[in-house]
């Protein structure tokens, strides 16, 4: 069995030290192959060790400028470090190099959103929702972005979809309540969803405060 395969098997068994040792042997045996470096980057990233993970991803990219998973791994590091502009550029590179799954589009959209580029983020969030229509995190985030851009009917559709699949989703109730409150005259529906939110999650103080505010203004 090759060293990369041994390392992956060790990871699956939770043997991190053996995995690192195997991946190190892989890069020693084949120093021009980016796969071992990507695997090392992923291991250290999973441990939250940015300083050790970063150079392995960078090395993989220097060896293969089409290594989409290296761009993706490095982008995740930068996103977690709140380096959103850099993360967005790397996620975009990952997509260009063939990382076409929903998470790549979602993270690209989130990076752009965190960089205050909501309009640029929207098509990537939409694409993520198309690729993973049952992913409630993606659908909720897409709805929130739509609401931020005052596309309220479309946002409400996303929140209602989440609630169809998970009726006890507190954040979907909260956001749907907000959409009803700010964009319609359906105040009772707004109150219902806000109340559902803090009933499901008693610590959801923002939902409770807005609920009380609406009641006082009626």
pLDDT in tens, 118-131: 999 999 999 999 99
Task: Tell if the pTM clears 0.85, that is, is over it.
Answer: yes
CA dihedral 45, 144, 217, 194 (to 10 degrees): -70
Residue that is last in its domain, among 35, 64, 93: 64
Does 1 map to a domain?
yes
Per the prediction, the chain carries an average pLDDT of 94
Instruction: Indicate which CATH number applies to the domain containing 43.
Output: 1.25.40.10
Residue that is last in its domain, among 42, 64, 86: 64
Does 134 map to a domain?
no
Tokens of 171: 């954040």
**What is the C-alpha separation between 45 and 78, in angstroms, rounded?**
11
- Over residues 26-48, the pLDDT tens digits come to 899 999 999 999 999 999 998 88
Sequence-separated (6 or more) residues with CB below 8 Å from residue 170: 196, 197, 198, 200, 201, 204, 207
Does 131 map to a domain?
no
| pLDDT of res. 192 | 97
Query: Taking the chain, what is the end-to-end CA distance rounded to the nearest angstrom?
Result: 71
DSSP H helices, 13-64, are 16-29, 34-46, 50-63
- Per cent of the chain over pLDDT 90 is 84
Tokens of 175: 């956001």
Domain count of the fold of the chain: 2
Does 139 map to a domain?
no
* C-beta separation of 2 from 26 below 8 A: yes
Does 100 map to a domain?
no
Domain range for 210: 151-218
**What is the C-alpha separation between 132 and 152, in angstroms, rounded?**
22
Does 143 map to a domain?
no
Segment 84-97 shows an average pLDDT of: 97
Residue that is last in its domain, among 64, 84, 107: 64
Does 162 map to a domain?
yes
Does 18 map to a domain?
yes
């Amino acid at each position: 069995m090759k060293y990369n395969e041994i390392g992956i098997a060790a990871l699956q068994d939770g043997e991190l030290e053996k995995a690192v040792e195997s991946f190190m042997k892989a890069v020693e045996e084949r120093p021009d192959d980016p796969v071992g470096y990507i695997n090392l980057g992923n291991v250290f990233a999973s441990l939250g060790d940015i300083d050790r993970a970063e150079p392995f991803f960078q090395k993989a990219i220097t060896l293969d400028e089409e290594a989409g998973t290296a761009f993706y791994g490095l982008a995740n590091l930068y996103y977690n470090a709140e380096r959103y502009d850099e993360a967005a550029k790397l996620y975009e590179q990952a997509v260009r190099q063939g990382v076409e799954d929903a998470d790549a589009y979602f993270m690209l959209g989130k990076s752009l959103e965190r960089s205050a580029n909501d309009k640029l983020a929207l098509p990537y969030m939409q694409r993520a929702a198309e690729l993973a229509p049952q992913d409630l995190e993606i659908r909720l985030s897409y709805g929130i972005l739509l609401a931020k851009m005052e596309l309220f009917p479309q946002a409400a559709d996303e929140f209602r979809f989440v609630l169809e699949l998970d009726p006890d989703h507190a954040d979907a109730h909260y956001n749907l309540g907000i959409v009803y409150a700010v964009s319609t005259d359906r105040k009772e529906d707004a109150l219902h969803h806000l109340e559902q939110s803090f009933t499901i999650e008693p610590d959801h103080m923002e939902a409770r405060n807005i609920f009380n505010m609406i009641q006082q203004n009626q």
